[in-house]
Amino acid sequence: MHTDKPLFTPGPLTTSLTVKQAMLRDLGSRDFEFIRIVREIRQELLRLAEADDRGYEAILMQGSGTFGIEAVIGSITPPDGKWLFVVNGAYGQRMLQIAKALRIDAAAVTFPENRPAVAEAVAMALDHDPTITHVGAVHCETTTGLLNPIQELGQIAARFGKVLMVDAMSSFGAVPIPVADWGIHYLVSSANKCIEGVPGFSFVLARRDMLTQTNGYARSLSLNLLAQWRGLENDGQFRFTPPTHAILAFRQALAELEAEDGVPGRAARYRHNYEMLVAGMRALGFAEYLRPEDQSYIITSFRYPDHPNFDFGRFYETLNGKGFVIYPGKVSDAACFRIGTIGRLYADDVRALLDAIRETLAEMEVTL
């Protein structure tokens, strides 16, 4: 049962009552219990990435997902380093903006927003510019909902001897990502996406042997990945005030993920939500922006229907009035809106949303 409107968005997401209740405590940042919880969370994150005993470290970083990405880019790039970012949406573009803001040399290999990246084109870009040292790519481009072929990009990065960072913000926890097997050196995700915690921190999974070679590279005091890791390793503490309540919520969220049979169980629920949503939306006359084969079960972009009475602002407001929160589009070349199928949402929620959309179309006199 929800006490707030269900969030069919890319995050923050609807969380369980028990995740919210886990925050009803005040733990000090030096409390032994808190330090133990942080250690257990770090261990569990490695397990989720199938990376325990594979030479990886999990580092929690205060702030939203973008802070985690900025911490990695700003902390692991040597003074003469250069990035190649794989761009087919707003989040690939954002990595490029971060590098620019930090005055780090960067180039982009760009693909259309409705197509996954092509690994061989990335290989050609690397071949063209041997000064590139690092590659950054987004796994689920939440802009549209498409999935990029990270495993193939991992092979390309390995072939050219480049460091690979993956933004797995909206996929980690719901899509299996074996970081070591896929050749990912740094992965970034956040507390309030598919693990179903609350906002407050991001986390980085980093290959230890690479991380330890980045001494002196950080361009920020607070977003210093190596220093953050050393702090957590030395005394289990954050260097600056930790988001204690968000961490307590996250521990409960991880327990609930485990109770759902881990990543495969969560993937099955989200996939079911997605399949119900798309079948229902098609029956109502909507069309998806992406080809089904490129589409994840995380979030789906739907084109505005071709009807003079359709107005997204009114559609959104009316649905909101009926108790459902959807999301505007983000693609630059097509009029779309998005519906997320992640978070503590079940088939009944999707069914109720579809009923509300049907009613809304009738009220707007949109016949499709």
Binding site for ligand PLP (CB under 6 A): 10-11, 64-66, 91, 138, 142, 167, 169-170, 190
In angstroms, give the least distance from the CB of 165 to ligand PLP. Answer: 12
Find the residue with minimal CB distance to ligand PLP.
65
Contact predicate 104/76, CB 8 Å: no
Q: Which is nearer to ligand PLP, 70 or 288 (CB)?
A: 70
Instruction: Give least dist CB 77 to ligand PLP, A.
Output: 18
Q: What is the rounded distance in angstroms from the CA atom of residue 162 to the CA atom of residue 172? A: 22
Q: Smallest distance, Å, CB 65 to ligand PLP?
A: 3
From residue 56, give the alpha-carbon distance in Å to each of 101, 243, 257.
Answer: 28, 23, 21
DSSP string of 275-298, one letter each residue: HHHHHHHHHHT--BSS-GGGB-SS
Q: In angstroms, what is the minimal distance from the CB of 358 to ligand PLP?
A: 28
What's the min distance (Å) between Cβ of 12 and ligand PLP? Answer: 8
| Strand bridging mode 201-207 / 186-190 | antiparallel
Name the residue among 99, 182, 96, 186 with its Cα closest to residue 147.
Answer: 182
**Given the complex with ligand PLP, which of 98 and 361 has the nearer CB atom?**
98
What does each C-alpha distance from 145 to 7, 198, 262, 340 come to in angstroms?
16, 21, 22, 9
Q: Which residue intervals of the chain are DSSP H helices?
A: 17-21, 32-48, 65-76, 90-101, 119-128, 150-160, 208-211, 225-235, 244-259, 262-284, 312-321, 347-363
Pair 159, 43: CB distance under 8 Å: no
Cα distance between residue 69 and residue 81, in whole Å: 16
Whole-angstrom Cα distance, residue 38 to residue 44?
Answer: 10
By C-beta, is 142 or 295 nearer to ligand PLP? 142
Nearer residue to ligand PLP within complex by CB, 34 or 182: 182
Distance separating alpha carbons of residues 326 and 338, to the nearest angstrom: 7
Q: Which is nearer to ligand PLP, 125 or 138 (CB)?
A: 138
CA–CA separation, 165 vs 150, rounded Å? 10
Q: Which C-beta is closer to ligand PLP: that of 11 or that of 74?
A: 11
Q: How far is the CB of 66 from ligand PLP (least distance, A)?
A: 3
- Cβ closer to ligand PLP: 64 or 214? 64
Q: Which residue has the tokens 């733990």?
A: 27
Q: What minimum distance in Å lies between the beta carbon of 63 and ligand PLP?
A: 8
- Is the CB of 66 or the CB of 133 nearer to ligand PLP? 66
Q: Write down the least CB distance from residue 366 to ligand PLP, Å.
A: 29
What backbone phi and psi angles, to 5 degrees, belong to 150? -65, -40
CB of 116 to ligand PLP, least distance (A): 14
Contact assessment for residue 228 and residue 61, using Cβ atoms and an 8 Å cutoff: yes
Give whichever of 183 and 200 is closer to ligand PLP, judged by the CB atom.
200
